[in-house]
Amino acid sequence: MTDPMINPACGIDFGTSNSTVGLADASGARLLPLEDGSVTLPSAVFWQTEGAPALFGRAATAAYLEGEDGRLMRGLKSTLGSGLIHDKTAVGGRAVSFREVLARFIGHLRAAQLAAAPGLDRVVFGRPVHFVDDDPAADAAAEAVLAEIARDCGWREVGFQYEPIAAALHYEQTAAREELVLIVDIGGGTSDVSVVRVGPGRAVLPDRGRDILANDGIRAGGTDFDRLLSLSEALPHLGYLAPTRGGGTMPRHYYHDLSTWHRINALYSARTASDLKALRLVADQPTLIDRMIRVVAGRHGHALAMRVEAAKIALSDAEVARLPMADLTGGPNPMLRRAGFEAAVEAPIARIRALLERVLSEAGLAPDRIGTVFLTGGSSQLPILRATVQSVLPGVVMASGDMLGSVGTGLALEARRRFG
């Protein structure tokens, strides 16, 4: 049994793909087990239609894959900063807003914290450098909604810290000397980069503002890689960009919804079913549209997205990987190649490269002034991403922490510094 912590502070990493709850006291920081002993909880909600309680994490995904009645929702963080956060979707015969779904999930994280530290009512949440690119008003609105949800869940005082800064605080726990570290945090929905001065003697300083030399971020991450891989390799087998008999191509928005986690449920409507049947009549290859109709009618969208995500992960270790989707689509099981994936994600990778160069420039540093590049986030181990970092900072030491836990641990340490 874990020894109880004395006067702990709490940090929450609510991620696009995975979430953690961290506690820290004078003895250090740890992440709480959230599901079956795991300290990470997939950011997924399965809203059952028969009035049963919502399911979260792996249990949510399992219920969906087992064919239970209900709605699976993933990628919920991506709704922050967009008009979609206030939209409603039909679940179990009633309209449920995406804000309510977020509140249910964050309330589940709050319950885990209360079980471990009943009296704790102050928290530091992580946030990307930008929830929304080039829109300060939408970015501020996203943070405000998240803070409001957190207070509604019972936290009296809610603070925020940039996720890459939290990762730096975690890295600093093992730093042997003072150095400049480039933190590269590639999450599910955002990519953030920071230059931070760290060192054994700096962790106790009350104000670390001067140690942050530069930081910036973009709204592009692992779910974008999934989407682009799906559009490139999976959805052409369902009619994406397929010609019509009139000389045009199939409308793209259905396929973009199918490849985007938080938009998949929008396809499950009578109107979409009717539209696809009409499009089949003008398609040059109606068999492809039959496959699309099969996926939408069977509500296999999330299952297909999971298969694509798994293939992406497999391509991190192998040059080729099979995408098993025939049982969902009635089509082939295509063989994917790493080179094809890397070509598909060329645009966001170029944006990440520009982000790296921009942050170094804003810090006023040549690449050789960086002591270590610290990589974190679920997509940071992709070979194309590591190669991009290496090309911008040739010869610099690259270190990796807990891919899914560094930010949460750092947020707990930040909460300890703020709240004592």
pLDDT band at 92 (very low <50, low <70, confident <90, very high): low
Q: Is 29 helix (H, G, I), strand (E, B) or coil?
A: strand
Mean pLDDT of 250-277: 95
Q: What is the pLDDT of residue 11?
A: 97
Encode pLDDT of 165-181 as tens digits: 999 999 998 888 899 99
In 3D space, the residue among 96, 72, 71 whose CA is nearest the CA of residue 85 turns out to be: 96
CB atoms within 10 A of CB 149: 24
Residue 241 tokens, joined: 């960009």
Q: Is the pLDDT of residue 160 over 50?
A: yes
Summarize the confidence of residues 364-387 as an average pLDDT: 94
246-261: average pLDDT: 95
Half-sphere exposure of 345 (CA within 13 A, CB side): 25
Answer yes or no: are the C-beta atoms of 400 and 181 closer than 8 Å: no
DSSP code of residue 79: G
pLDDT at 1: 40
Q: Two tokens at 282?
A: 């003008």
Phi, psi of 401 (to 5 degrees): -105, -155
Residue in 21, 365, 419 with CA at minimum distance from that of residue 193: 365
What whole-number percentage of the chain has pLDDT above 70?
98
Tell me, rounded to whole angstroms, the distance of Cα 314 from its chain centroid.
18
All structural domains of the chain, each given as residue ranges with its CATH number in brackets, are 9-163+408-419 (3.30.420.40), 178-222+346-400 (3.30.420.40), 223-344 (no CATH)
Q: How far apart are CA 128 and CA 139, in angstroms?
A: 10
CB count within 10 Å of CB 241 equals 11
Element (H, E) at 333: none
- The residue among 356 and 173 whose pLDDT is bigger is 356
